Amino acid sequence: MNELDFSRGFLRAGLTLALVVFGLFLAWRFVSGIATAALVLLVSLLLAVALSGPVEALHRRKVPRLVASVSIVLGILAVVVLVVYLFVPVLSNQIWQLIYALPFAFSQVSEWLEQLGSRTGLPVGGGDGPSLSTLASWGRRILGGALGLFGSLTTLAFGLVVATFVPLYLAGNPKPVVSWGVRVLPPASRPRAREVLSKVRRNLLNWLKGRILSMALVGVLWTVALYLIGIPGALFLGVLAGLLEFVPYVGPVVSTIPPVLLALAGDPRDALWVLLSYLVIQQIEGYVLTPLIEGKMSALHPAVVIVAVTLAGAAFGFLGVLLAVPATVVTKVLVEELWFRRLEGDQDEKGDEEEARRKLSNT
């Protein structure tokens, strides 16, 4: 009888463990399945906030919101088409120059490091550098890592459609969505919720304006600096630096690697000029542009930015890197408004009570 009870208990425990493991597996599949959709929706919300600024400006001039949002999107598309028509031939030519120059650059840098290692006695690997096929393989891996989150071209196309139309509709008519979201809260908390949402939007807009202006300025400065130094593909590398500027502190460091390698392949002294240009441009961007545009409200500590980008990139890949800093801006506002302000308010109330008690005791 005891052996039968033991067998039943063991079987029951095994079935329970199997059900728990199966449930955890289903939960993991569900979370991993909706990760892409959640990230795409977050990108759409960020684009909606970016679109809401100019839409509000046109709406204040009696332009309907939907007409304003469609007009701005069409204007952006027209500008993109014009830029592509004007600069794609030059950029494609410079891209091919870089494709042919990079293997030679890697080879030269490898030989230079090998010579340095032989002089200093340090173990430095040498070689002939990667071939064109190796660079192409690296490019496919990077592109696969950036787009692998989507799983297939179908989900990628669906994500592009969502990221296009959701910001358009949200910027064109945001009141129903905001009102429905606020109605989840108790009536007494709704005015405060609207105030916090307004502050989140304002800080995101400040950050986005600062990023866009920084991207344009850094792209122009990098192009001019690399052209004067004599680095091949200066225009393409400048455009790349401007795009990578969207991720503060981390993007500029990544954008410096290709011109430094190309400079080392030619004259190592040019690499010093590239690094000096990087330092000057970052000083201009960090001490002049960012405080002037973003202000203190959306300013973030560099260590916080680097940690946020690293963790989000490790967890969610390419989209995580793009969303890390704006998500940190939103988190900063929410913590300050919903936690710090309440704590400070409680302390102020306690201070007022103690001061009132002291006055009563003195009288």
- State how far the Cα of 112 lies from the Cα of 243, in Å rounded to an integer: 31
Give 152's pLDDT tier (boundaries 50, 70, 90). Answer: low
pLDDT of residue 156: 64
Highest mean pLDDT among 6-15, 60-69, 222-231, 278-287: 222-231
The two three-digit tokens of residue 264, written as one number: 């080392």
What is the percent of the chain where pLDDT is above 70?
Answer: 71
Q: Are the CB atoms for 169 and 44 separated by under 8 Å?
A: no
DSSP 194-250: HHHHHHHHHHHHHHHHHHHHHHHHHHHHHHHHHHHHT-TTHHHHHHHHHHHTTSTTH
| CA pair distance 343, 261, nearest whole angstrom | 51
Model confidence at 298: pLDDT above 90: no
Q: Which residues make Cβ contacts (< 8 Å) with residue 217, sequence separation at least 6?
A: 284, 285, 289
Does 221 or 320 have the greater pLDDT score? 221
Tell if the pTM clears 0.75, that is, is over it.
no
In whole angstroms, give the CA distance from residue 173 to residue 167: 10
287 against 207, higher pLDDT? 207
Q: Tell the burial category of 359 from Cβ atoms under 10 Å away from its Cβ (0-12, 13-18, 19+).
A: exposed
CA distance linking residue 112 with residue 269, whole number of Å: 13
Nearest to 323 by CA among 49, 36, 39: 39
In angstroms, the Cα distances linking 107 to 119, 132, 255 are 19, 12, 20
pLDDT for res 136: 46
- Output the pLDDT for position 6: 55
Measured CA to CA, the distance from residue 149 to residue 318 in angstroms comes to 8
Letter string b/e over residues 240-273, b meaning 16 or more CB atoms within 10 A of that residue's CB: bbbebbbbbbbbbeebbebbbbbbbbbeeebbeb
CA torsion angle for 347, 350, 352, 356 (degrees, to 10)?
Answer: -160
Torsion over CA: 25, 26, 27, 29 (sign): positive
- For residue 70, is pLDDT > 60? yes
Highest mean pLDDT: which range of 234-243, 282-291, 335-344: 234-243
pLDDT recorded at residue 225? 92
- The predicted pLDDT at position 221 comes to 92
The model's confidence at residue 143, banded by pLDDT at 50, 70 and 90, is very low
For residue 276, pLDDT beyond 90: yes
Report whether pLDDT(4) > 60: no
Per 3-state DSSP, the chain is made up of helix, strand and coil in percentages (nearest 5) of 90, 0, 10
Contact 218, 241 (CB under 8 A): yes
User: Distance between CA atoms of 241 and 260, rounded to whole angstroms?
Assistant: 13
- pLDDT greater than 50 at residue 145: no
Across all residues in the chain, what is the average pLDDT?
Answer: 76
Q: Is the pLDDT of residue 60 over 50?
A: yes
User: At 172, is the pLDDT very low, low, confident or very high (cuts 50, 70, 90)?
Assistant: confident
Query: 7-19, pLDDT tens digit by residue?
Result: 666 677 777 888 8
Does the structure show a pLDDT above 70 at 346?
no
Angle of the 250-266 helix axis to the 65-120 helix axis, nearest 10: 50
Q: Work out the end-to-end distance of the chain between its first and last CA atoms, rounded to an integer number of angstroms.
A: 84
User: Which has more pLDDT, 96 or 78?
Assistant: 78
Query: Greater confidence, 36 or 126?
Result: 36
- Token pair recorded at residue 49: 């906030």
Lowest mean pLDDT among 31-40, 134-143, 156-165: 134-143
- For 214, residues 6+ apart whose C-beta sits below 8 A from its C-beta are 245, 285, 289, 290, 293
Give 104-140 pLDDT, tens digit per residue: 666 766 776 666 666 665 555 544 444 444 544 544 4
What are the phi and psi torsion angles at 141 (to 5°)?
-65, -40
Cα–Cα dist 298/304, whole Å: 13
Residue whose C-alpha is closest to residue 147's, from 137, 157, 133: 157
